[in-house]
């Protein structure tokens, strides 16, 4: 047990968050995402499960320890709805709100489904939640810790 670490952050996720450097990308994905096969290609070859929580809950916990990158225009990306690239779902709005709670000017972009899979393969690690809403898949870019 550690003080100040949200209870849903397990030891594997704590290692991933600590090992990442500035500019590294973390994929946070829903339960339908092919996380096992994608994570085999990531930098760390790690897949971390956070069971029993949705993306919003996971993001809130992760963002207590994970600084968002202030040097880029879009700190978070979401998977686009197939055939509807401009659609923003409730899960997208909720995750952006969590990002903006820690970084008020945080912005979210979107990535086409198959491009998202490739970007996730290039990420540092994959975190899979129990999110059951479709398209609950995100990429977060880590920033610098200044203190």
Specify whether 147 is catalytic. Answer: no
Q: In whole angstroms, what separates CA 107 from the centre of its chain?
A: 14
Q: Which of 78, 92, 117, 135 is catalytic?
A: 117
Provide CB contacts within 8 A for 2, sequence distance 6+. 14
Specify whether 22 is catalytic. Answer: yes
Neighbour tally for 2: CB within 10 Å: 7
Q: Which of 69, 78, 92, 135 is catalytic?
A: 69
- Tokens 């990308």 appear where? 25
> Sign of the CA dihedral 61, 39, 119, 70?
positive
Provide CB contacts within 8 A for 18, sequence distance 6+. none
Specify whether 117 is catalytic. Answer: yes
Residues annotated as part of the active site: 22, 69, 117
């Amino acid at each position: 047990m550690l003080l100040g670490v949200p209870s849903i952050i397990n030891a594997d996720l704590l290692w991933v968050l600590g090992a990442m450097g500035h500019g590294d990308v973390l994929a946070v994905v829903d339960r339908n995402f092919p996380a096992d096969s994608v994570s085999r290609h990531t930098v760390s070859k790690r897949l971390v499960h956070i069971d029993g929580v949705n993306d919003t809950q996971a993001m809130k916990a992760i963002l207590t320890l994970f600084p968002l990158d202030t040097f880029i225009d879009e700190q978070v990306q979401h998977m686009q709805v197939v055939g509807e690239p401009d659609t923003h779902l409730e899960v997208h709005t909720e995750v952006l709100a969590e990002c903006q709670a820690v970084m008020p000017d945080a912005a979210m972009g979107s990535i086409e489904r198959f491009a998202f899979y490739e970007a996730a393969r290039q990420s540092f690690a994959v975190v899979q939640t129990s999110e059951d809403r479709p398209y609950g898949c995100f990429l977060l870019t880590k920033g610098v810790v200044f203190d």
